[in-house]
Amino acid sequence: MSKNYRSELVGAFGCPIDENPTGVMEEAAFAAAGLDYRYLTIKVDKEEIETAMKAVRALHMRGINLTIPHKVSAIPFVDELSPEAQIIGAINIVVNNNGVLWGDNTDGKGFLKSLTDRDISVKGKTITVLGAGGASRAICVVCALQGASRLHIINGSVERGSELVALLTEKTPAKADLIPWESTSAVPDDTDILINATSVGLYPNVDQKPDIDYDTIKSGTVVCDVIFNDPNSLFLREAAQRGAVTVNGLGMLVNQGALNFKLWTGQEAPVDVMTETLQREFGL
C-alpha cells in the first residue's frame, strides 16, 4: 500500500493575527481525532486578500478561516455563499470543494451556542450590541432569526450602523434601531442581553474597555464579550461588579471552531479537547 505524505491544509488569514490561538485549538482537535490536518496561522495584509484566496486553490487547501480585516473583502473571491452568509454579508470560513470555494459564517452560530450552553435563550429578548462590524452583523442576524424581538445597535459610524439596522429590518422579523456612539453611551433600560462585538479590550490592549456608562447595566443582565484574549476582559469584570451574568468569548471561539472543524473534515469535533486546550493556553 502506498503512503500519503501530504497533510490536508487549513488555517487562517488575518492582520493582525500573531496572537490568534485558533490554530492551537484546531491542531489539538485534529490530533485527538487522528486526522492528518495542519492549521496554518498566516498574516495577510488587507490589499493581498485576492492573492491569498487564489492560493487556497493553488495549494489545494481544504479551507481557510478569515478574520480582521478580511471577513467582508474576501467575499468577491469565493464561488458560493451559505444563506446565512448572504444575509450577514461577512464570512469567517471557506471550504474548498474540489476548487469551488464556499463561504459561510460560523461566528453568530458559535456565539448562540455559547448562550444555549448556559441555558440562555434570545427568544423574545431585547439585545443591545456594541459595534456594527463583521462579528456584530453575524451575531445580530443569527439572534434575530432565532427570535430576538429587538436589537439596539450602538455604533460610532452612523452610516455603518444604519446599514446593519436596515439589513435586520429588511431580512429578519426583529425590530432594530441605531444609537449613535458619540460619547459615553448609556445601556438602554430595556436591555436583556448586552454584547461587546468590538475589538476593544483585545490583547495587547487588555486595559481598555468600551466607552459605556457601566452603572446603567442592571443586575441580572446577561453581558457577553466576543473578546477571547484576555477572556476575563475588563468589560466583563466591570459588568460583573454590577451583578451581571457574564459570558466570555472562549465559548464562542470554541463553538465556531467546532463548526469549522466539521465543515472541513465531515466529523464531529472533540469539543472537550478544544475547550481544555484553550483553558491551558490562557492559564484558566
Q: Could you tell me which of 111, 133, 113 has the C-alpha nearest to residue 199?
A: 133
Residue pair 121/115 in contact (Cβ under 8 Å)? The answer is: yes
Q: Residue 238 is which amino acid?
A: E
Residue pair 239/217 in contact (Cβ under 8 Å)? The answer is: yes
72-81 in b/e form (b: 16+ CB < 10 A) is ebbbebbeeb
H-helix or E-strand spanning residue 81:
strand 80-81
71 belongs to the catalytic site = yes
Distance of alpha carbon 147 from its chain centroid, rounded?
19
Q: Which three cell numbers stand for residue 58?
A: 493553488
**Active-site entry in 43, 71, 113, 175:** 71
Catalytic positions, written as ranges? 71
